[in-house]
Structures are given as structure tokens and as C-alpha cells.
Amino acid sequence: MKGMKMQSVSCRAILLYLVGVSLILGITGAAFATPTGLNNIPTADAVSKDLLVLQGFSEFGGERSPGWFVGAKYGPLENVEIGIDDKAAGSGTAAGPVLQGKFRLPLRENCAAALGAANISDNSDRNGHSFPYFVLSHDLGEMNAHLGYSWQKANQAWFVGVDRAVTPRLTLRADWTEVEDGDESLASLGFIREIDAQWLVEAWASFPTAHGEHTAYVAKFDYVVPLK
């Protein structure tokens, strides 16, 4: 986890407490823009200062035709991330453009929190409501754990996820969110792989519990551009 190297007992205690609360109340929350995160959830990681990440991705599966999206996220300041996504063609779960922003707060060298909002637009009928969230991320040694909460309108929710690097270039990721204000949930499994210093590929499958919904797949390419 970027900028996090040292164990933090206090942060781990907070994380374990929130995990316990989430198991009592139910796991929730899905983000529809693309802040730095796992598959379907944001984390407390952020794009580094003066780094631009260009993204192209497709959502497909079930009875839908593929949806094609483009996006970018940028670190204008240390621990600050901003971004924009838009639909290029096809079907999908959202249209654009939508904005996102995140402020990262390092708590210890191995632990950080973030406060952000995703899916920001001037047309909630078309794009859905904005997704404000708070998330805590902690490096547990062999894996990173993430737990957060969103107070999105009609979908106040907890979300949780883990990621683990199995090689220097390959990281496996899993997350579980609640959708439809806790009535349904969405689990996902995926990976991110570094191709070279500038190219990365991400892919995951999402498994909704809602009746009539099908497994959805996302494939994404990231191109990293240092601006300084």
C-alpha cells in the first residue's frame, strides 16, 4: 500500500471494530465512477502527485451488449485525487460524464483513511446519485484490508475488500458491497497486472444477488503518464 510500511496497532483496532460493526449491520456500498480502489469499491489509496492515469474499460455480460467507457484520474497535490469518466458507446450501468475526488489522510505508515465522492454529475436521473464515502485501508502484512461506508441517497451502505500481491506484478482483489439500500449485495473477484512501467490491465467479475441480474464482467486498461 502506497506510503504505508509500519504496523499500526491503533489503526488495526479501528479496522477490526468496523469489520465487527459491518458484520452486524450488513456489508454495503458500490461506487460507479473510478476512484483508485479494488473492483467495485474505493480504497484509501490515491494517485501520486503529478501522475495522470488514462483509462479505457468495457462492461459486459448477461443479456447486455458491451458498454465502453473512458476516464482519467490525476494527483494535483499530495494525497489528493480527482477524476472524470464518460461513456464512449454501448450499454452499461451509467452514462457520463461523471466526476470523482478523494482526500487521503495517512494515519500511520501502514494505515490511511480517505474521504471522497464518486459519480458526481448534474443529472442524477441519468447517472444515479453521487457516492460520498469514507474508507479505511490497512496493510496487514500479507494483504491489504479495506472497509468503508457510503451515505449515497437511497443506498447508505458499508463496503469491504481485500487485495494481495501474489507476484511483484500481479495483485488479486476481492470486494463485497451492498446495493439497493442493503436489500441486495454485490461480490466481485478480480486482478490487476502491471504489463510494464506505464501499462496495467485490470479485470473482474461481479456477482449480484438481485433476482434477474446476471454476472457482469469488466476489463480495463490503464496508461500511467508522469507529468513531472
Residues 189-226: tens digit of each pLDDT: 999 999 999 999 999 999 999 888 889 999 999 999 99
Q: Cell numbers of 35, please?
A: 476512484
Q: Cell numbers of 85, please?
A: 469518466
Q: Where in the sequence is the domain holding 172, given as residue range(s)?
A: 9-226
Percent of the chain with pLDDT over 70: 81
Three-state DSSP class for residue 31? coil
CATH code (residue 46)? 2.40.160.40
Q: Which residue has the cell 458498454?
A: 67
Taking the C-alpha atoms of residue 147 and residue 169, their distance in angstroms, rounded to an integer, is 24
Q: Cell numbers of 68, please?
A: 465502453
Q: Which residue has the cell 452499461?
A: 92
In this structure, is residue 1 part of a structural domain? Answer: no
Q: Which amino acid is at 210?
A: A
In this structure, is residue 4 part of a structural domain? Answer: no
Number of structural domains in the chain: 1
Distances (CA, A) of 60 to 56, 63, 90, 188, 228: 14, 9, 10, 14, 36
Q: Rounded to two decimals, what is the model's pTM?
A: 0.82
Q: Which amino acid is at 196?
A: D
In this structure, is residue 2 part of a structural domain? Answer: no
Q: Cell numbers of 173, please?
A: 482483489
Statement: residue 104 has pLDDT above 80: yes
